[in-house]
Amino acid sequence: MNKLVVMKFGGTSVEDAVAINRTAGIVQGRCDKGLAPVVVVSAMATVTDQLLAAAAAAGQGDREGALAISARLRNRHVETAAKLVSAEGISELSRYIEAEFASLEEVLRGLAAVGELTPRISDMIVAEGERLSSRIIAEAFRHRGLDAVHVDSRTCIITDAQHCKAVPQDALIEQRLKEYVLPLAAEGRIVVMGGFIGATEKGVTTTLGRGGSDFTAALVGGALDAGAIEIWTDVNGIMTTDPRVVPDALRVKTISFEEAAELAYFGAKVLHPATILPAVKKNIPVLVLNSRNAENEGTRIISLAPHCRSPFKSIAVKRRLTIIDVVASRMLMSHGYLRAIFEVFDRHKCPVDMVSTSEVSVSLTVDSNEKLPAIAADLSQLADVKYEGRKALVCMVGENIRGQQGIAARVFQAIRHVNVRMISQGASEINMSFMIEEDDVEEAIRSLHAEFFNDPDPEIFDVEAVRKIEESIG
């Protein structure tokens, strides 16, 4: 067995000194089992949002607002570091943190004066979250007796220059990781690196898109042929739906790569959509685990999932979507019409989630975004255009819907009180998705969950956990 294991800890798993100490314990546990961990960490919880808010404020000329956010973040990082690192070790780390905030503030002041936030500056600001967390965590690990060493991800995760959603350059990444990380891991040292961030070949800081630390973990695991990739988060694994919506959602014990990718793409925040790809290519198992409940066995994502008697494994929901209706009777069926429509989206670099066509119209859904008025203006050159926000896409995923009869009838019977705007089945054989109003999400998900997970297959779902809770309630 390959001993290398990539362990990614999300924001909540490193949110404060207590959480970071827990993380150190989990990593120590892997070392005790003879494994060689490479650790990828997110920024401390909410830091990315706050850095983005500071950047936005500065970009609008609100210098004081931006500096106030930065001051709060500085205190949080300094205080966390002081709790983790002893008095003799802290001075160098404190100097690092202070220097980072001094340069962040300089950038924010400059930005407020210029009043224009570019994607390149945004990446430079937001990358601070992972740069700081990874340095602090590496130092904290050393103080707990782990032989940790910090590696700046920007030396290894080489991307193109599409700021805020940069595309990793696989061959270069593999070469750099083999040069800078593999020898350290081979010596028995624990590399700690920040997720989400990278750099162009010229060294300009980039980021991989929100939630991108999962992606970093998979890139590292794929490039170094890891034996496993562990995604440590704040829930017991991939659940039958978001436990914030349905608190008694069940843990899915095993799920296929294909199903997990579909869920991630359609909004199950627990995993970043691109995460799966580098792991699939190399057939590396991915585990989703709970850092607050490390004993739990989590979810195992593998290439072929065992048979499941339930049609669905999980229900994902993607909110804040907009439906765009393009109506053009005169262009009906005309050759090249759809291409002309899609070219508009392409020009604005706006991905489309779902498409449905009728005799005279095409409906498309996209993430609500600031480009919509410009997209609508371009589309109105071709046809009549209407767009409406506050929509949500519900996506039900399971390999077993293939060939089962009557599933759609059960789905729509369960949500008969909800207005369904668009339906899609068939784009992928393992998902059934439809658009509803954002306000109806909670009711729809609860009804669907009750319909499809009331008699769960114990081979696939953690039915034991439910029994234990019921027993404890008596």
- The angle at the Cα of 158, spanning 101 to 126, to the nearest 5 degrees, equals 25
Residue 11 makes contact with ligand ASP by CB under 6 A: yes
DSSP annotation of 146: -
Nearest distance from residue 16's CB to ligand ADP, in Å? 14
Q: Phi/psi at 415 (nearest 5 deg)? A: -115, 35
CA count, 13 A, side-chain hemisphere, 461: 23
* Rounded-to-10 torsion of CA 10, 14, 19, 21: 120
Residues 292-331 that bind ligand ADP (CB under 6 A): 314
Residue 196 makes contact with ligand ASP by CB under 6 A: yes
Residue 420 near residue 434, CB atoms below 8 Å = yes
Tokens of 310: 């339930």
Residue 140 near residue 20, CB atoms below 8 Å = yes
Of 10, 221, 267, 298, the one binding ligand ASP (CB under 6 A) is 10
Residue 195 makes contact with ligand ASP by CB under 6 A: yes
Of 42, 134, 206, 275, the one binding ligand ASP (CB under 6 A) is 42
Dihedral sign computed on CA atoms, order 297, 299, 300, 304 = positive
Residue 11 makes contact with ligand ADP by CB under 6 A: yes
User: What is the secondary structure of 149-172 as a DSSP string?
Assistant: EE--GGGT-BB-S-TTSPPB-HHH
Of 129, 194, 198, 211, the one binding Mg ion (CB under 5 A) is 211
Closer residue to ligand ASP (CB): 182 or 217: 217
Closer residue to Mg ion (CB): 10 or 37: 10
Residue 230's closest CA among 38, 397, 45?
Answer: 38
Nearest distance from residue 153's CB to ligand ASP, in Å? 12
Residue 232 makes contact with ligand ASP by CB under 6 A: no
Of 23, 205, 241, 365, the one binding ligand ADP (CB under 6 A) is 241
Nearest distance from residue 375's CB to ligand ADP, in Å? 28
Tokens of 227: 């034996």
Residue 239 makes contact with ligand ADP by CB under 6 A: yes
> From the CB of residue 437, how many other CB atoms can be counted at a distance below 10 Å?
15
- Runs of H (alpha helix) within 144-256: 170-180, 182-186, 213-223
Site string for ligand ADP, 191-230 (x = CB under 6 A): --------------------x-------------------
Nearest distance from residue 16's CB to ligand ASP, in Å? 15
Of 19, 26, 39, 43, the one binding ligand ASP (CB under 6 A) is 43
Residue 43, binding choice from ligand ASP, Mg ion, ligand ADP, none, Cβ under 5 to 8 Å by partner class: ligand ASP
From the list 93-101, 159-167, 267-275, 400-408, the region that binds ligand ADP by CB under 6 A is 267-275
Rounded-to-integer distance, Cα 361 and Cα 375, Å: 17
Residue 211 makes contact with ligand ASP by CB under 6 A: yes
Contacts of 451 (CB under 8 A, 6+ apart): 410, 411, 413, 414
The full length of the chain comes to: 474
Residue 221 makes contact with ligand ASP by CB under 6 A: no
Site string for Mg ion, 7-46 (x = CB under 5 A): ---x------------------------------------
Nearest distance from residue 61's CB to ligand ASP, in Å? 25
Quote the distance between the C-alpha of residue 203 and its chain's center: 24
From the list 9-17, 130-138, 150-158, 381-389, the region that binds ligand ADP by CB under 6 A is 9-17
Rounded-to-integer distance, Cα 37 and Cα 230, Å: 10
From the list 18-26, 81-89, 211-219, 417-425, the region that binds ligand ASP by CB under 6 A is 211-219
Tokens of 207: 């980021």
Residue 270 makes contact with ligand ADP by CB under 6 A: yes
Residue 212 makes contact with Mg ion by CB under 5 A: no
Closer residue to ligand ASP (CB): 97 or 331: 97
- Runs of H (alpha helix) within 10-86: 17-32, 47-59, 63-84
Residue 48, binding choice from Mg ion, ligand ADP, ligand ASP, none, Cβ under 5 to 8 Å by partner class: ligand ASP
Secondary-structure breakdown of the chain: helix, strand, coil percentages, each rounded to the nearest 5: 45, 20, 35
From the list 61-69, 130-138, 237-245, 413-421, the region that binds ligand ADP by CB under 6 A is 237-245
Residue 11's closest CA among 158, 201, 212?
Answer: 212
Residue 55 near residue 117, CB atoms below 8 Å = yes
Residue 189 near residue 244, CB atoms below 8 Å = no
Residues that bind ligand ASP (CB under 6 A): 10-11, 42-43, 48, 129, 195-196, 210-214
Residues that bind ligand ADP (CB under 6 A): 10-13, 42, 211, 233-235, 238-239, 241-244, 268-270, 314
